[in-house]
Amino acid sequence: MAKISDLKRIGDDKVTAIGMGTWGIGGYESPDYSHDRESIEALRYGLELGINLIDTAEFYGAGHSEELVGEAIKEFEREEIFIISKVWPTNFGYERAKRAARASAKRLGTYIDLYLLHWPGKEWGKIEETLHALEELVDEGLIRYIGVSNFDLKLLRKSQEAMKKYEVVANEVKYSLKDRWPEESGLLDYMKREKIVLIAYTPLEKGSLARNACLAEIGRKYDKTSAQVALNYLIWEENVIAIPKAGRKEHVEENAGAMGWRLSREDRERAKLCVV
């Protein structure tokens, strides 16, 4: 793997500021095998470029996304890769969460670096049981860190208070130039103070920000594309990592180009006005 110097911390690990998202890779709510080779090649290309973070979930393609990630990483040193997966709310609960994590690890063919509760679900009791089950899985070595996803500030705090042995190290939420709710709600500032990583999904708003002419104009100053400007806006924050979809090689390469530089403070403010 090549080395990228634009790194953030998750726990004691250093990961690239841009990761590779796999929602839709290998299918959505059911498996789709039609683009498997292209998907594996795209993920491998990203690893070759030096991107070391891959985000997946048991829900993606009913587990097939995890299988593709497992296949893609076979040629690489496992210790140099950071893998995130997630448990779906239907598998919340002490025993069910443990079974789900083991099934995900089996599909991946390896341990899980960061395991997230994918959505809050409706029952706090189930969330708490799941968090405690995950703490035991850390002790077993099946997972290394615990996090949440789509948790608002109130629920994030409650989850922190529920932990017995370990900390919540990350919260994966929708965050983009167009949807800046983590900034507006106070979630981002709180997570900065608590040293919790914010992992931003849908950072390009399904490609719409990659076609934004105003962002493209800002990008010309840096010899960067509109997509790279939109991603750089996010990783400008010290505790933010972005995970755009890694479905094709050319997109992975463009995403990687969002690292290694930073917008000026003035241009970052200008970028906000591009999506008003």
Q: Three-state SS for 148?
A: strand
**How far is Cα 122 from Cα 250, in angstroms, rounded to an integer?**
39
Q: What is the DSSP string of 215-276?
A: HHHHHHTTT--HHHHHHHHHHTSTTEEE--B--SHHHHHHHHTTSS----HHHHHHHHHTT-
Q: Three-state SS for 34?
A: coil
Compute φ and ψ for 104, nearest 5 degrees.
-65, -45
Helices (H) and strands (E) in the chain, counts: 11, 10
Q: Give how far Cα 125 sits from Cα of 92, 93, 100, 120, 130, Å.
A: 9, 8, 18, 11, 9
**Catalytic residue (one of 60, 115, 145, 233):** 60
Q: Is 154 exposed, middle or buried (0-12, 13-18, 19+ CB in 10 A)?
A: exposed
**In 185-214, which positions are buried (b, 16+ CB within 10 angstroms) versus exposed (e)?**
eebbebbeeeebbbbbbbbbbeeebbebee
Active-site residue flag, 145: no
What type of residue is 86? K
**How far is Cα 226 from Cα 220, in angstroms, rounded to an integer?**
9
**How far is Cα 212 from Cα 178, in angstroms, rounded to an integer?**
11
Active-site residue numbers? 60
